Amino acid sequence: MIEADGLTKRYADKLAVDHLSFTVTPGRVTGFLGPNGAGKSTTMRLILGLDRPTAGSVTVNGRPFSAADNPMREVGALLDAKAIHGGRSAYHHLLCLAQTNDLPARRVGEVLEMVGLTEVARKRSKGFSLGMGQRLGIAAALLGDPKVLMFDEPVNGLDPEGILWIRNLMKALAAEGRTVFVSSHLMSEMQHTADHLLVIGRGRLIADCTVEEFIEQNSEQQVRVRTPDTARMAELVTAAGGRATTDGPRLQIFRLPVERVGDLAFENNIRLHELTALQASLEEAFMELTKEAVEYHAAVPAGAPAIEEAGKVES
Ligand code: ADP
């Protein structure tokens, strides 16, 4: 369990994390979603005590992580997979970690097996591909068999097989009752992985809900119809309070539920060759919600007097 209360971090005049309060509970994958620069990595560093909050607090299993007796048994974190001594083999890297953290050496073989690196365990990690480096980072995170796992953008740069593997691993870890907290700026990725979402923009929490709730609350319902009588159908939609745009023989209809669109056609004797309720993707819902919160817009958003950013936009 991770609990943040009014967590705030300011760097000079930049408010990187702005009064975040949230709880990350065990047994499910919680996605930490936000555009680049939203404050995800800073929050994760604050959780791990690698940075000190300007205000507020955050605890892991009820106390600050810095007070943990054996940090690797408490939290496993993958923050920067490249932070590995390239001259060492995967085996030695993990063995060193195990020894300095008072963990049994047998865990090394176990985690290498779990991440599929057993065969290359004696090779220097310098020659590792990005995906192998990522697996090694995850092996290190799993070494202490921790109840809480945090991954910062774990699928960045991975091939489809690696992405699938990480997704399944996170789900399996959550199914074992662990707390799994994973950040991403890729909404489509979270849609496949997360059960619950914390969405942030400009350091602020803008949603704390399930993936389904997030899509439902933040996306406009759309219906697509195909009809030989697009003009008449569009008129009816407008008269009923909806909005329609034409796309050849199709109409894209907004603000009316699919049942209402079907009834309108039926009642007015209009033939439909297609009637589809479109489910907006998490990507669309996310864009909608964060469009005011994206850090570097093409234009300065209204009510955003930040001098530093205004300067960046103008330059
Ligand atoms: P994310 O992980 O969501 O991409 P970050 O937490 O890395 O976002 O960054 C949030 C904001 O804080 C950004 O504007 C970033 O430039 C700023 N920031 C992060 N770390 C520092 C630092 N050490 N010094 C100054 N500014 C920082």
Per-residue pLDDT of 146-184, as tens digits, reads 999 999 999 887 888 889 999 999 999 999 999 999 999
Q: Over 70: is that where the pLDDT of 265 sits?
A: yes
Give the pLDDT mean for 215-238.
88
Q: Is the pLDDT of residue 274 over 70?
A: yes
pLDDT band at residue 188 under the 50/70/90 scheme = confident
Residue given tokens 């033939």 in the structure block: 271
139 has a pLDDT exceeding 70: yes
- Which atom of ligand 1 is least distant from the CA of 43? 6
Sequence letter at residue 64: P
Q: How far apart are CA 221 and CA 106, in angstroms?
A: 53
DSSP letter at 73 equals H
In degrees, to the nearest 5, what angle opens at C-alpha 204 toward C-alphas 81 and 13?
85
pLDDT for residue 146: 95
Alpha helices in the chain (DSSP H): 40-47, 71-74, 90-100, 106-115, 130-142, 160-175, 187-193, 211-218, 230-239, 258-267, 282-290, 307-314
Kindly state the average pLDDT of the residues 216-240: 90
User: Which one-letter amino acid corresponds to residue 82?
Assistant: K
Looking up tokens 């942030």 gives: 200
For atom 10 of ligand 1, the residue with the nearest CA is 39
Q: Ligand 1 mean position to 9 CA, how many Å?
A: 10
Q: Which residues line ligand 1 (CB under 6 A)?
A: 11, 14, 16, 34, 36-42
> Can you tell me the distance from the alpha carbon of 46 to that of 218, in angstroms, rounded to the nearest whole number?
29
Q: Is the pLDDT of residue 299 over 90?
A: no
Which of 11, 13, 152, 184 best tests ligand 1's pocket when mutated (most atoms within 8 Å of CB)?
Answer: 11
Strand 179-184 versus strand 148-152 pairing type: parallel
pTM of the predicted model, to two decimals? Answer: 0.79
Q: Which long-range contacts (CB under 8 A, 24 or more apart) does 127-130 make?
A: 128/90, 130/81, 130/157, 130/158
Name the nearest CA neighbour of 93 among 180, 41, 82: 82
Q: Buried b / exposed e across 109-135, counting CB within 10 Å, b at 16+?
A: eebbebbebeebbeeebeebeebbbbb
Residue 285 confidence (pLDDT): 73
Supply the residue whose CA is at minimum distance from atom 21 of ligand 1: 11
Residue having the nearest C-alpha atom to atom 27 of ligand 1: 11
Whether the Cβ atoms of residue 119 and residue 109 lie closer than 8 Å to each other: no
How open is the CA angle 134-37-61, to the nearest 5 degrees?
65
Q: How far is CA 68 from CA 23, 53, 71, 209, in A?
A: 19, 18, 5, 29
